[in-house]
Amino acid sequence: MRAITAAGLCTPLEYIHDPVLLIDNGIITAMGPSGAVAIPPSIPVHSFPEAVLVPGFVDMHIHGAAGYDVMEATPKTLNAIERFLAAHGVTGYCPTTITAPVDLTLSVLDQLADWIERRGKNREPQAVPLGIHMEGPFLSHEKRGVQPEKYLLDASVGLFRRFWDAARGHLLVITIAPEIPGALEVIREAAKLGVTVSLGHSDATSEITNAAIVAGARHATHTFNGMRPLNHRDPGILGTVLTSDVLTAEIIADGVHVIPSIVSLFVRAKGVERTVLVTDAIAATGMPDGSYKLGTLEVQVQRSVCLSRDGHLAGSVLTLDRAIRNVMEFTGCALREAVRFVTLNPARVLGCGARKGSLQIGADADVAVMAPNGDVIHTMIRGVEIEAIAMIRQRRSEQS
């Protein structure tokens, strides 16, 4: 057992001043103001007198980091990504695939499933893969972004079941364009299996989007990007995403994919309960400018902007701790709201809100410690500590 004290604690549904958090065997066993929670004698106490304790972050849409791409799907790749994420406060994530040949996709899903099952048996001090997010191949040609066009496919239940079987039940999210042939049938099948169906890379009308919601769609992928633009007489998928009380929706709050004023509009439209921040990060995240891979695609990164050879945005180098600071700056929202966008809300979308995404008794002891300037200075994953990000940066500096 151990105790953590700090200046404040954001659950994120409430803010507690001068808190005490008790952890035993990786689970939160007690929490509250210091006067209400007694610290048992002779247990370790970690004190952060100027910091705020928040739930560990959950990134449900990420393609890579630290120079590695999820589609490589090797232990070396995934270990490096997970260590990087943990240093930025992320304790749970969804490794996200990109459109690729079917055989390659099946192989990657199988390797990711192996990794998820392996990671479930140990408690390494790095982010935990919660399940897989498939972005493609059932996407629109018109709104494909940088998704390789030659590998895009019409949707079919048979092919979806092959993907599902390869992932061995670890497929948590699938992004799909509802207007392509066969999409509604796949949406029904995926929803029946408990997969979160996310609408994206789509040129759908509002009518088709509503039909997808009826079929079981419940989320939207990187809103505004890869979507039919909003028109006052033809609202399309974007109009439905912004106004639907059924759909949660994600946004990339890096100031590049969506400008700050539109991020503010988005948060006002979706509200505190339905807003999810994601990174859509690629291998270049945390690395210097240069050339990196996104699946089979080559991406050039300069000044935090990721572009394919034809000039399209190709993911980001955003981290969720940076996204929190950005959304507070862009919208004026409070820390508690911004934290919710990267913790409780994505955890609920993924169906793991009872144990992830909040600091509550019985939940996993996934904790990020935030300094007054918003930096993550310490992370704990299921009760296992990692080095503070400042220490990691210092070690990198010494090695260079």
What CATH number is associated with residue 106?
Answer: 3.20.20.140
**Which residues are known catalytic residues?**
280
Closest CA to 242 of 266, 259, 264, 222: 266
What range does the domain containing 27 cover?
2-54+363-399
In a domain, 154, yes or no: yes
Q: Are 223 and 250 in contact (CB under 8 A)?
A: yes
The per-residue pLDDT of the chain, averaged, comes to 94
Which CATH number characterizes residue 8's domain? 2.30.40.10
Binning pLDDT at 50, 70 and 90, where does residue 257 land?
Answer: very high
Q: Is 66 found in the same domain as 34?
A: no
Is the model's pLDDT at 388 over the cut of 60? no
In a domain, 357, yes or no: no
In a domain, 253, yes or no: yes
Q: Are 91 and 54 in contact (CB under 8 A)?
A: no
Q: Is 332 found in the same domain as 220?
A: yes
CA 44/CA 50 separation, integer angstroms: 19
In a domain, 41, yes or no: yes
- Which single residue is written with the structure tokens 């192989």? 107
| Mean per-residue pLDDT, 124-131 | 92
| Mean per-residue pLDDT, 1-27 | 96
State residue 391's pLDDT score: 45
φ, ψ for residue 155 (rounded to 5)? -75, 145
Give me the helices (H) in 142-235, please.
Answer: 157-167, 183-192, 206-215
Contacts (Cβ under 8 Å, ≥6 apart) of 307: 299, 300, 301, 313, 314
Q: Is 132 found in the same domain as 68?
A: yes
Q: What is the pLDDT of residues 335-364, one digit of tens each?
A: 999 999 999 999 999 999 999 999 999 999
Is the model's pLDDT at 390 over the cut of 80? no
Q: Is 134 found in the same domain as 255?
A: yes
Structure tokens at 48: 């952060």
Is the model's pLDDT at 253 over the cut of 60? yes
Q: Is 6 found in the same domain as 95?
A: no
In a domain, 355, yes or no: no
State residue 392's pLDDT score: 47
Q: Is 297 found in the same domain as 383?
A: no
State residue 396's pLDDT score: 46
In a domain, 252, yes or no: yes
State residue 385's pLDDT score: 80
Helix (H, G, I), strand (E, B) or coil at 7: strand
CA 301/CA 322 separation, integer angstroms: 18
Q: What is the pLDDT of residues 41-85, one digit of tens each?
A: 999 999 999 999 999 999 999 999 999 999 999 999 999 999 999
The total number of structural domains that make up the chain: 2
Is the model's pLDDT at 263 over the cut of 80? yes
State residue 124's pLDDT score: 79
Q: What is the pLDDT of residues 306-337, one digit of tens each?
A: 999 989 999 999 999 999 999 999 999 999 99
Taking only Cα atoms into account, the Rg of the chain, rounded to an integer number of angstroms, comes to: 20
Structure tokens at 296: 């089979």
Q: How many residues does the chain have?
A: 400
State residue 387's pLDDT score: 55
In a domain, 354, yes or no: no
| Mean per-residue pLDDT, 291-317 | 94
Q: Is 205 found in the same domain as 345?
A: yes
In a domain, 358, yes or no: no
Q: Are 109 and 147 in contact (CB under 8 A)?
A: no
Q: What is the pLDDT of residues 176-222, one digit of tens each?
A: 999 999 999 999 999 999 999 999 999 999 999 999 999 999 999 99
Contacts (Cβ under 8 Å, ≥6 apart) of 225: 145, 252, 257, 258, 313
How many CA atoms within 13 Å lie on the side-chain side of 1? 13
Q: Is 236 found in the same domain as 101?
A: yes
Q: Is 287 found in the same domain as 220?
A: yes
E strand residue ranges, 116-167? 128-129, 132-135
